[in-house]
Chain A
Amino acid sequence: MRTTPCGHDDGSDVIVVGGGAAGLAAASAAASDGATVTLVEREGHLGGILQQCIHNGFGLHRFGEELTGPEYAARDARMVEADPSIRVLMDTSVLAVDGDDDAFDVTLVGPEVGMAHMSARSVVFACGSRERGRGAIGIAGSRPAGVYTAGSAQRLCNCDGALVGRRVVVLGSGDIGLIMARRMTWQGAHVLMVCELASEPGGLRRNIAQCLDDNSIPLHLSTTVTRVFGHDRLEAVEIADVDPRTLVPVPGTERRVECDTLLLSVGLIPENAVITATGAEIDQTTGGPAVDESLETSVPGVFVAGNELHVHDLVDFVSEEGGAAGHAAAAHALGDADRDAAPTWVRVTKGEGVGSLTPQRLRDPADEVTLRLRVRSRMTDAVISIMSGDAVVKRVRKRVVVPSEMQTVRLTPADLAPVTGDLVVSCSEREGVE
């Protein structure tokens, strides 16, 4: 037990907040560039959300094989734990990050350090995302037990060995909801249905086929849960058809479904509690901080990667992004002589058909730039166009683009050479022959 209420602990060149896929990759990358790194993880295990994602399909791009979440996490965790220049603080929370540029004061609390201040020259935020809950979607009724977000139920089931219910309705056809519909079925529960507000499934078709169709679980599109019943425990939910255009429940279509569990899979939001307090500008469409091509936020020396930047669908790209942030954070911490203190910013903005986009600006587009975006709607035979005024910077053709799959476009220095002003990224279906 420490005797001082708030001590000072040894600092690092780089502090990484969060030990999931993005944070592990960031720590390894920064250390490989010669920086001393402290990785701070709130939980008692490394790997973050991967530990509860026991299904397979992770790592196909990065490792060329399909791993389960815990296996994917273990590969990165072993590298971090074996690296002498990375200090890992488990069960430790970052409460605040003060200061700026290369003199940060990080306040943290945990069993090893007590409550302590730690100095750093760069900070990488990799805190992941939160699930939207019932409050965010406004379901009427009482407050019985048995209403869970899908990810909470997943953790209770896969990590803590607790099946949260027997007769289950899932609201939302996002991938976590679909995966959990299968998991609950495979653990012996009866999953009655998956309801989806939209007229198209939210998750990947692969998961519709292998999680729902394989297990004869019906998917009700343009349907939502309007009310929950039950005092101590959930007894039933009321579901109703919605108008596909207005998404408003249609009066007279309500029906009661007896169940003891409702799982909500209604979207993820980047976890920005601590980074917002640093003053980093937040992009309202991604829900995460606005960044440049090195994943640096509007606060110099503060970087962000993974689901805290924008919600991903493939962990392989989270790791890639974490690595990029780690390298950039190390360069900042160790002194980047080439860096222009007063750069000419190039804004990157969303054009037609693009729903969200990172980075939001380019500092010095001399290196390769990775754009990540989501389209607004499903398009076939599509073209992603990056324009600078009337000049075409790059065009990429795609057989199909869907909102549930993040698109990645790489721009080389040669692509960017003719850029004179802001970039506009748009996506549309190809018309006729070019």
Chain B
Amino acid sequence: MSDVERREFTCVRCPMGCSLTVSLDDGVVTDVTGNGCPRGHAYGEHEATHPERVVTSLVRVAGDFRPVSVKTVSPVPKECVADVLAAVAATTVEPPVSIGDVLVPDVCGTGVDVVATRASA
């Protein structure tokens, strides 16, 4: 008995914003409809099976009310976003901080580093 599922997404690959319907059978993509181009097909497949996001946030700097901005250097699985945000929020770093400094290595075991995107004041 297979588990057939249909899921809806808005394609974000271009301003068309196609409404995609992705059919899955036991977690395997069997069909993508509504896409206007091959990029939409790839997006729908990826979004339905292992969606990922770059997380951008703020890290406190000891002795300064002004935080530094940070990002994950590559996308992390979407289901990890809340944990990544919590880990980043719990971090305080010592100044000085330069752009590109790794502030949280291998955040939440994703294998992805969180780096500074702005230098400390």
In the complex, A204 Cα to B71 Cα: how many Å? Answer: 22
Assess the A159–B10 pair: CB atoms within 8 A: no
Identify which of A70, A214, A401, A405 gathers the most chain B CB atoms within 10 Å of its CB.
A70
Assess the B69–A205 pair: CB atoms within 8 A: no
Which residues 56-72 in A have Cβ within 8 Å of B in the complex? 56, 66-68, 70-71
Which residues 1-45 in B have Cβ within 8 Å of A in the complex? 9-10, 12, 14-17, 36
In the complex, A209 Cα to B20 Cα: how many Å? Answer: 12
Asked if A74 meets B57 with Cβ closer than 8 Å, knowing A68-B69, A205-B12, the reply is no
**Chain B interface residue number, banded:** 20 to 34
Which residues 165-194 in A have Cβ within 8 Å of B in the complex? 186-188
Least CB separation from A401: chain B residue: B15
Asked if A66 meets B69 with Cβ closer than 8 Å, knowing A204-B15, A399-B16, A400-B15, the reply is no
Please give, as numbers and ranges, the residues of chain B lying within 8 Å of A204 by CB-CB distance. Answer: 15
In the complex, A399 Cα to B16 Cα: how many Å? Answer: 8
Which residues 35-85 in B have Cβ within 8 Å of A in the complex? 36, 53-58, 60, 65-67, 69, 71, 78, 81, 85
Assess the A209–B10 pair: CB atoms within 8 A: yes
Cβ 8 A contact of A56, one of B54, B60, B66, B85: B54
A2 at the interface (CB under 8 A from B): no
Identify which of A68, A157, A380, A402 gathers the most chain B CB atoms within 10 Å of its CB.
A68
Asked if A161 meets B69 with Cβ closer than 8 Å, knowing A205-B17, A400-B15, the reply is no
Least CB separation from A400: chain B residue: B16
Please give, as numbers and ranges, the residues of chain B lying within 8 Å of A399 by CB-CB distance. Answer: 14, 16, 36
In the complex, A162 Cα to B118 Cα: how many Å? Answer: 17
A80 at the interface (CB under 8 A from B): no
Closest-CB distance, A273 to chain B (whole angstroms): 28
Asked if A54 meets B60 with Cβ closer than 8 Å, knowing A204-B15, A206-B12, A214-B78, the reply is no
Please give, as numbers and ranges, the residues of chain A lying within 8 Å of B78 by CB-CB distance. Answer: 214
Closest-CB distance, A10 to chain B (whole angstroms): 29
In the complex, A401 Cα to B17 Cα: how many Å? Answer: 11
Least CB separation from B88: chain A residue: A186
Identify which of B66, B99, B118 gathers the most chain A CB atoms within 10 Å of its CB.
B118
A213 at the interface (CB under 8 A from B): yes
Closest-CB distance, A235 to chain B (whole angstroms): 27
Q: For the complex, would chain A's binding face be called helix, strand, loop or mixed by DSSP majority?
A: mixed
In the complex, A400 Cα to B40 Cα: how many Å? Answer: 15
Assess the A54–B118 pair: CB atoms within 8 A: yes
Assess the B10–A208 pair: CB atoms within 8 A: yes
Asked if A70 meets B58 with Cβ closer than 8 Å, knowing A161-B65, A161-B66, A205-B10, the reply is no
Cβ 8 A contact of B99, one of A74, A402, A405: A74
Closest-CB distance, B87 to chain A (whole angstroms): 13
Assess the A161–B67 pair: CB atoms within 8 A: yes
Cβ 8 A contact of A186, one of B57, B66, B118: B57
Cβ 8 A contact of B69, one of A54, A187, A400, A402: A54
Closest-CB distance, A373 to chain B (whole angstroms): 15
Closest-CB distance, B103 to chain A (whole angstroms): 14
In the complex, A402 Cα to B16 Cα: how many Å? Answer: 9
Closest-CB distance, A209 to chain B (whole angstroms): 4
**Contact pattern, A 342-381, Cβ under 8 Å of B = 1, otherwise 0:** 0000000000000000000000000000000000000010
Least CB separation from A380: chain B residue: B16
Closest-CB distance, B30 to chain A (whole angstroms): 23
A160 at the interface (CB under 8 A from B): yes
Closest-CB distance, B19 to chain A (whole angstroms): 10
**Contact pattern, A 396-417, Cβ under 8 Å of B = 1, otherwise 0:** 0001111011000000000000
Assess the A210–B53 pair: CB atoms within 8 A: yes
Assess the B53–A214 pair: CB atoms within 8 A: yes
A158 at the interface (CB under 8 A from B): yes
Cβ 8 A contact of A210, one of B12, B65, B66, B119: B12
Cβ 8 A contact of A68, one of B14, B56, B85, B119: B56
The 6 closest A-B pairs by CB, nearest first: A205-B17, A54-B69, A70-B118, A206-B12, A68-B117, A209-B10
| A-B contact list, 24 entries, CB within 8 Å | A54-B57, A54-B58, A54-B69, A54-B117, A54-B118, A56-B54, A67-B117, A68-B118, A70-B69, A70-B117, A71-B118, A160-B65, A161-B65, A161-B66, A162-B65, A188-B89, A204-B15, A205-B17, A206-B17, A210-B53, A214-B53, A380-B16, A400-B14, A400-B15
Given contacts A158-B58, A205-B10, 11 further A-B contacts (CB under 8 A): A54-B56, A70-B117, A71-B117, A71-B118, A159-B66, A186-B55, A186-B85, A205-B12, A399-B36, A400-B15, A404-B15
Q: List the interface of chain A (C-beta within 8 A of B).
A: 51, 54-56, 66-68, 70-71, 74, 157-162, 186-188, 204-206, 208-210, 213-214, 380, 399-402, 404-405
Q: List the interface of chain B (C-beta within 8 A of A).
A: 9-10, 12, 14-17, 36, 53-58, 60, 65-67, 69, 71, 78, 81, 85, 89, 99, 117-119
